[in-house]
Amino acid sequence: MDELLVGIVNLTWKHAAMWLVGGILVYLAIAKDYEPALLLPIGFGAILSNIPLSSAIGPEGPLTILLKAGIHTELFPVLIFVAIGAMCDFTPLIRRPMVMLLGAAAQFGIFATVLAAAAFGFSIQQAASIGIIGAADGPTTIYVAARLAPDLLAPLSVAAYSYMALVPIIQPPIIRLMTTKHERRIKMDYEDQQEPVPCQVKILFPIIITLIAGIIAPLSVALIGTLMFGNLVKESGVLDSLSRTAQNELANIITLLLGITIGATMQAEQFLNVKVVFVLGLGLVAFIFDTIGGVLFVKMLNLFSSHKLNPMIGACGISAFPMSARVVAKMALKEDPTNFIIMHAIGVNVSGQISSVVAGGLVLALVS
């Protein structure tokens, strides 16, 4: 009889609070369609891990085994980057390489937040992991946190993916605050986005980027290498079936396992404390400052250029691909139904994907 009541006897208000948190994430995934592939398994994983004496976690629990095999070894982030690389189209970036500067500028919030987090008393390793949230790149956040701050892995991962899902809510008011109506209506040349890119260039691009990024930040090779490998598989033209598998089956399976495993780390004892509140708040600050940094950099470029850029595309320098590009393109159309900047926004967005990985490698190198 005691065995049947053990769950009730050990139940606390903290468990119930985490059920509520998990339920909110599931609600946002289903009712609001906010990154359902991630928030739903994260939310349900949180519920599973907060049932008293749950067999899903613990030394022999399947979710603990997945945590050790997929997160602690950094296998899941690496595999998900293969899938992301196969989904990415770097053609807009190749046509206009200068947008790499916009992607780099949008990483400003990472380093600003590292200083802020350190000022609040976090260790430099924890501060660096918190700052990476600003890149809006879930796999990179997990990769860095698993190495530098495993104790904060749960809140960091939840913050990164939650803010990615909330891009349509967070970015528009920041962009409107930082730009004028006239700036949001700036039209950009579309002809240069129609020029064909030779297949040889598309094949060489991931190889060259891997070499350059690897030399600049060797600790980023695991992520940038797998990202570019996925893209090379796609652009090679001889591995169509593998490319489709990476984009669909691999992406779906790893996303599912990654989400529920991250959710399983959200145990009440580690999650319900003041430190987590600071982590979530500073992560939002990093996200906001990354957006501001990208917009301000474009505005600065416009001071010295006769061909004006729409400052809104600077906000796409974060790594939330392709959500951020879609948000900015919709904002441009809302201001002027004839203003099509989607291709320019996509170019900046994919450059942000690359820049966030390099930034993660630089942070690891500096902190390590």
- Residue 209, token pair as written in the block: 């980027």
For residues 7-32, average pLDDT: 88
18 — pLDDT class (breaks 50, 70, 90): very high
Owning domain of residue 279: 2-367
- Which 3 state secondary structure label does DSSP give 338? coil
Q: Token pair 């529920």 is at which residue?
A: 260
Q: CA-CA distance, 341 to 352, in Å (whole number)?
A: 17
Alpha helices in 12-70 (DSSP H): 13-31, 36-49, 62-66
pLDDT score recorded for residue 2: 53
**Looking at the 3D structure of the chain, how many domains does it have?**
1
Q: Is the pLDDT of residue 21 over 70?
A: yes
Tens digits of residue pLDDT in 133-156: 877 677 888 888 888 888 888 888
Tens digits of residue pLDDT in 52-69: 888 888 888 899 999 889
